[in-house]
């Protein structure tokens, strides 16, 4: 998952960030607050588990299912297996599309999700049809009507999976046969169910479909189930006789041992104010180097600095999720000095210099580490000098480029390329291309680097 989940073609262009600037004092206060908040996460986990045991209650996982969301389809398939592996009570909620405040371009997100799910499903032992079209609205309504009366029924999974297969195949006949066996709710009841699910989700401070909620913590789709499984295993919630193995563990970052023979090229679209970019940047560089693939860096302006809204609930989830993901892969993260505003602008002003000196990757890595792992100010001359010199560059040579404007056109061109050619809008995004006649692999999110590696391995083999 990337930090962005929206597209806005009419959003303000780079430079809009000035109104989002903060004083250094404000940034230091924010840094301290975030460090305290991160430290409190584990304490909150422990407290909720103590309360559950005192009350003698079961482990309860709430699943928020959006019928026309491809990620929800994969997640529901996973629920069927999780129910057999863990002593967990699943509660089901139906939800509709996210509010446009969180997803101003839902059609673009839905299209990407269908393509993405078809790529990742086989790696998780799940299924999703390649080339699936947008589900017919009438069929979506039929599936919602079938599931509304089953939210508290164990048949929700069985019916949901059968209905999902028919929905994504566009099989009206199969849905009609299912409707003969399963009662359907009327339109008013369906509407009430969707509104109730959305209210519950909002009350718990989330906004998306395909979400699992357990004891105050959110897990997005199949991609975050390994975190949930580890937590359940740690709490002793594995079913009797079941091995303590992660069913939906993330596939390994394995590009194989074959070296690139000039066929493949990897392009990364990073940003300087992206938590997800910060945690995965060095791993991306290392992956490319391990198989001798040229890595082209095409930085873009942060979405929030282009005027795309970032509501509080979304920001909180992104930061806590990044911390969890970074811990899982052993990447330093969390001691943050937010570079939004002038630090990003000043940082990007030095990008052309660093790139032309052949130290572009080192410069971005140094900046991201300073801002997100070391709590350093990257907006002052002193902070930028540290970033520059650690990247192996000369500060006196870099200084004349500081606060220049030439970089803006380049970043805007990168943004347009990311949107129009990759069909992506958040960072980090990746494009793997080659001269072998196969289509480019275009993916979005730090949690797709493993897919890039798997495709590299396949093509080089």
Neighbours of 447 (CB within 10 A): 20
> Phi-psi bin for 216: left (phi > 0), alpha (psi -120 to 50), beta?
left
Last-in-domain residue among 214, 234, 254: 234
* Mean pLDDT confidence for 431-449: 93
* Residue 313: per-residue pLDDT: 77
Q: What is the pLDDT of residue 18?
A: 37
> pLDDT digits over 280-302, tens only?
999 999 999 999 999 999 999 99
Burial of 436 from C-beta contacts in 10 A (0-12 / 13-18 / 19+): exposed
> How many angstroms separate the CA atoms of 388 and 407, rounded?
17
The answer to the question of residue 9 being in a domain is no
Domain-embedded: residue 384: yes
Q: Are residues 201 and 274 in the same domain?
A: no
The reported pLDDT for the residue numbered 7 is 33
Can you tell me the distance from the alpha carbon of 182 to that of 176, in angstroms, rounded to the nearest whole number? 10
Cβ distance 265 to 275 under 8 Å? no
Strands 429-434 and 441-444, by their bridges, are antiparallel
**Domain of residue 359, residue span:** 264-460
Quote the CA–CA distance of 123 and 454 in Å, as a whole number.
10
Please name the residues in contact with 428: beta carbons below 8 A apart, sequence gap of 6 or more: 2, 268, 269, 270, 271, 274, 276, 277, 280, 281, 284, 444, 445, 446
Residues 351 and 415 in one domain: yes
The mean pLDDT of 249-278, rounded to a whole number, is 96
Please check the confidence at residue 6 and state whether its pLDDT lies above 50. no
Residue in this structure with the two tokens 């079209």, named with its chain if needed:
133
| Block residue for tokens 């086989």 | 122
Could you give the strand order of the β-sheet that contains 59-65, starting from the edge strand earlier in sequence? 88-94, 59-65, 211-214, 217-220
Tell me, what's the pLDDT at 325?
96
Q: Which residue has the tokens 């989830």?
A: 317
Q: Round to the nearest angstrom and report the end-to-end CA distance of the chain.
A: 28
Domain count, the chain: 2
pLDDT of residue 150: 97
Same domain as 213, residue 285: no
Q: Are residues 324 and 275 in the same domain?
A: yes
Please count the residues of the chain. 461
Shared-domain flag, residues 120 and 213? yes
pLDDT recorded at residue 10 = 33
Domain boundary among 186, 217, 234: 234
Q: Please classify residue 394 by burial: count the beta carbons closer than 10 Å to its beta carbon, then call 0-12 exposed, 13-18 middle and 19+ buried.
A: exposed
- The region, left, alpha or beta by phi > 0 then psi within -120 to 50, assigned to residue 394 is beta
Mean pLDDT of 36-50: 76
The rounded Cα 154 to chain-centroid distance in angstroms is 30
Residues 205 and 294 in one domain: no
In a domain, 13, yes or no: no
Angle in degrees, 0-180, between the axes of helices 360-372 and 381-390, rounded to the nearest 10: 130
Q: Establish if 221 belongs to a structural domain.
A: yes
**Residue 340 and residue 371: Cα distance in Å, rounded?**
10
Are residues 162 and 300 part of one domain? Answer: no
Closest C-alpha to 175, from 155, 153, 160: 160
Over residues 443-454, the mean pLDDT reads 98
pLDDT at residue 22 in the model? 64
Give the Cα separation of 349 and 342 in Å (integer).
10
Residue 287 CA to residue 271 CA, distance in Å, equals 19
Q: Is the pLDDT of residue 399 over 70?
A: yes
Q: pTM of the prediction?
A: 0.91
- Output the pLDDT for position 107: 83
Per-residue pLDDT, 315: 82
Question: Between 172-181 and 137-148, two packed helices, what is the crossing angle to 10 degrees?
Answer: 20
Q: Tell me which of 37-46, 207-216, 288-297, 345-354 is least confident.
A: 37-46
- Is 11 inside a domain boundary? no
In the chain, DSSP finds a helix count (H) and a strand count (E) of: 17, 8
Residue 16 has pLDDT above 50, yes or no: no
Residue 326 placed within a domain: yes
Question: Based on the domain organization, do 76 and 143 belong to the same domain?
Answer: yes
325: in domain: yes
Query: Which residues fall within 8 angstroms of residue 154, CB to CB, at 6 or more apart?
Result: none
Residues 194 and 338 in one domain: no
**How many beta carbons lie within 10 A of that of residue 346, not counting itself?**
20
Pairing label, strands 217-220, 88-94: unpaired
pLDDT for 316 equals 83
Query: Both 197 and 71 in a single domain?
Result: yes
CA 47 to chain centre: 27
In this prediction, residue 25 carries a pLDDT of 66
Q: What is the CATH number of the domain that holds 281?
A: 3.40.30.10
pLDDT tens for residues 131-183?
Answer: 999 999 999 999 999 999 999 998 999 999 999 999 999 999 999 999 999 99
Report yes or no: 197 and 210 within 8 Å, Cβ to Cβ.
no
Q: Could you report the per-residue pLDDT of 78-130, keeping only the tens digit for each?
A: 999 999 999 999 999 999 987 766 665 778 889 999 999 999 999 999 999 99
Residue 438 in any domain: the answer is yes
CA atoms of 232 and 217, how far apart (whole Å): 12
- pLDDT score of 114: 97
- The larger pLDDT score, comparing residue 3 to residue 203, is at 203
The reported pLDDT for the residue numbered 14 is 34
156, 289: one domain: no
Query: Pick the residue with more confidence: 123 or 27?
Result: 123
Task: Please give the mean pLDDT across all residues of the chain.
Answer: 90
Residues 268 and 215 in one domain: no
Q: For residue 29, is pLDDT > 70?
A: no
pLDDT band at 46 (very low <50, low <70, confident <90, very high): confident
């Amino acid at each position: 998952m990337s930090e962005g989940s929206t597209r806005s073609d009419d959003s303000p262009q780079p430079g809009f960030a000035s109104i989002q600037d903060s004083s250094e004092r404000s940034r230091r206060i924010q840094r301290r607050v975030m460090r305290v908040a991160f430290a409190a996460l584990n304490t909150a986990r422990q407290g909720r588990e103590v309360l559950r045991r005192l009350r003698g209650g079961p482990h309860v996982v709430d699943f928020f299912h959006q019928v026309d969301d491809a990620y929800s389809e994969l997640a529901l398939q996973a629920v069927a297996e999780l129910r057999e592996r863990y002593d967990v009570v699943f509660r089901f909620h139906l939800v509709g599309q996210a509010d446009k405040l969180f997803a101003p371009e839902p059609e673009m997100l839905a299209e990407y999700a269908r393509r993405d799910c078809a790529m990742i499903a086989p790696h998780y032992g799940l299924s999703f049809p390649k080339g699936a079209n947008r589900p017919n609205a009438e069929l979506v309504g039929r599936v919602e009507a079938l599931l509304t009366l089953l939210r508290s029924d164990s048949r929700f999974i069985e019916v949901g999976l059968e209905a999902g297969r028919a929905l994504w195949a566009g099989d009206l006949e199969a849905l009609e046969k299912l409707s003969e066996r399963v009662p359907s709710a009327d339109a008013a009841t369906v509407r009430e169910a969707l509104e109730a699910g959305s209210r519950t989700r909002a009350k718990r401070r989330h906004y998306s479909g395909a979400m699992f909620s357990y004891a105050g913590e959110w897990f997005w789709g199949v991609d975050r189930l390994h975190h949930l499984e580890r937590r359940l295993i740690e709490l002793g919630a594995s079913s009797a006789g079941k091995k303590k193995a992660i069913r939906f563990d993330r596939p390994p970052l394995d590009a194989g041992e074959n070296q690139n023979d000039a066929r493949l090229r990897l392009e990364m679209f990073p940003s300087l104010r992206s938590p997800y970019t910060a945690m995965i940047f060095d791993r991306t560089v290392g992956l490319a180097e391990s198989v001798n693939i040229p890595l082209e860096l095409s930085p873009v302006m942060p979405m929030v600095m282009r005027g795309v809204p970032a509501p509080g609930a979304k920001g909180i989830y992104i930061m806590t999720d990044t911390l969890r993901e970074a811990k899982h892969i052993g990447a330093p993260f969390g001691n943050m000095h937010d570079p939004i505003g002038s630090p990003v602008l000043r940082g990007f002003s030095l990008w052309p210099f660093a790139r032309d000196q052949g130290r572009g990757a080192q410069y971005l890595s140094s900046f991201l580490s300073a801002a997100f792992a070391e709590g350093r100010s990257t907006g002052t001359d002193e902070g930028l000098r540290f970033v520059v010199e650690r990247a192996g560059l000369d500060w006196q040579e870099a200084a004349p480029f500081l606060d220049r404007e030439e970089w803006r056109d380049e970043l805007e061109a990168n943004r347009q390329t990311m949107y129009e050619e990759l069909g992506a809008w958040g960072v980090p995004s990746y494009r793997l291309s080659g001269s072998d006649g196969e289509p480019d692999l275009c993916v979005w999110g730090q949690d797709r680097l493993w897919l890039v590696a798997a495709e590299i391995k396949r093509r080089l083999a």
